[in-house]
Amino acid sequence: MILSISLVLFYLLMPVLLIYLVHISKTINKIGAVVMAYILGLIAGNIGIFPRASDSLKAILGGKSFLPHDQLTNYLADGKILQSDMTVNQIASIQDMIMSVAIPIALPLLLFSLDIKRWLKLAKEGLLSLVLGVSSLIIVVVAGYFLFKNYIDESWKVAGMLIGVYTGGTPNLAAIGTALDVPPNIFILTNTYDMVLGSICLFFLLTAAQRIFNMLLPHFRESHEKVKLKKIIEESSGIDNYLGMLTRRGLFQLSKALGLSVLILGTSFGISLLMPKSSQTAVIILLITTLGLLLGTIKSISKIEKTFQLGMYFIIVFSMVVASMADLRSMFQIDFLHLFMYISLVVFGSIIVHVFLSYLFKIDSDTTIITIAALTFSPPFVPVVAAALKNKEIIITGITTGIMGYAFGNYLGVGLAYFLKAF
């Protein structure tokens, strides 16, 4: 019992510390709370704090995360496993429980504040670029799947995750990883390569992209619709601001939002029981996304402050848990080179295809760049890239693209994954 309580407190409180450190340290702020959670989780899971499963337990688990306590007790009585394996199993059960709850709770909270109708009115001109960006991503992910499917374990799941991470960032990656039951090692490695390659891509977008794309695409046209940007800029730049959540008013409002999120989870779980067991998790994720979007159209819910930040807290919790489950000693025993090549193809290949399609449809260079940034890195990076482009008007298109990616990335990722599984 003490172990269980201590582990739960570690996973729930450490993200709070990380968020605090992000606010007080410019260096940590540049790294980000999610990345710090991965680093801390990897350290905690690989320095000997958690006991390792014996070979006999690994054989008994057969790919499962853990077994019921009573069943494992019988194995211990028969001498088939070690006493330390009981602790390993207990830790794994707690980790699995937190992972199973964190993402379904986070998703509605992330979606409550996303006013889809408003953003559609503000940035109609950017929707074509969004369609071209998503189409480019699908083309390259599918092509890469057939190129590498014989070299990457469960490559159809990786394909689904790549759709998610390049339409909505870490939240969609985590949601699709949960829906498809992706092994922790593959999830961590996919996310790690994404961060490495993504940093190279972001540097390119912030520096040379505009000059290069201007040679191929039309320049940003002055005829773009003018709108008041002050509120848009304030909202987009405040996405990472967690201050005010622990005030009396903030706690009261967020408790209501959290209650709604739990209610959505319960409703989605109940409906999923009507479906085949093999598809229940995917159904839960998609239902949660749908109900979260629908409730987000209700003004009294969409106006609750800091729901996005509360959702990101649960994403940080998830990140720490899944990272602590990864065994670095065995992580690189899988054929990681082909996975790295697949992700590289998706990151840079989708940009090339997107630029080509923008050329065909005469989309300007700034709109193309901000769409790539929003899909690849999510809305918090939009103001940064817009500042590098010296074009604040483009923030509207970027925020719209990022929001639409959050909203529909889960559908695309899960749907494409199961489609590719048939081949």
Cα–Cα distance list, 225 to 115, 209, 213, 393, 394 (Å): 20, 24, 22, 9, 10
Half-sphere exposure of 354 (CA within 13 A, CB side): 32
Can you give the pLDDT at residue 316? Answer: 86
How far apart, in whole angstroms, are the C-alpha atoms of residue 386 and residue 126? Answer: 14
Q: Choose among 15, 5, 87: nearest CA to 318.
A: 15
- What tens-digit pLDDT sequence spans the chain (423 residues)? 787 888 999 999 999 999 888 888 888 877 778 778 888 888 888 888 888 888 788 778 765 678 888 888 888 888 888 888 888 888 889 998 998 888 889 888 888 876 666 655 556 667 899 999 999 999 999 999 999 999 998 899 999 999 998 998 777 888 898 889 888 778 878 887 887 788 789 889 988 899 999 999 988 754 454 545 455 555 555 556 777 787 888 888 899 999 999 999 999 999 999 988 767 777 888 888 889 888 988 888 988 888 888 988 988 898 888 888 877 665 555 557 899 999 999 999 999 999 999 999 989 899 999 999 989 887 667 777 887 887 777 876 787 787 788 778 889 999 999 999 988
* Residue whose structure tokens are 């990380």: 18
Of 374, 392, 389, residue with least CA distance to 132? 374
Pick the closest to residue 104 from 308, 396, 318 (CA basis): 318
Confirm if 316 and 33 have CB atoms less than 8 A apart: yes
- So what's the pLDDT on residue 223? 43
Identify the sign of the CA torsion 197, 199, 201, 207. Answer: negative
Angle between helices 155-179 and 280-295 (to 10 degrees): 60
d(CA 164, CA 360): 26
- pTM score, two decimals? 0.72
Q: How far is Cα 409 from Cα 162, in angstroms, rounded to an integer?
A: 10
The alpha-carbon radius of gyration of the chain (Å, integer) is 22
> What tokens appear for 68 in the block?
């019921």
In the Cβ-directed half-sphere of 16, how many Cα atoms lie within 13 Å? 7
Give the residue carrying structure tokens 């059960």: 93
Measured in whole angstroms, the distance separating CA 146 from the mean position of its chain's CA atoms is 24
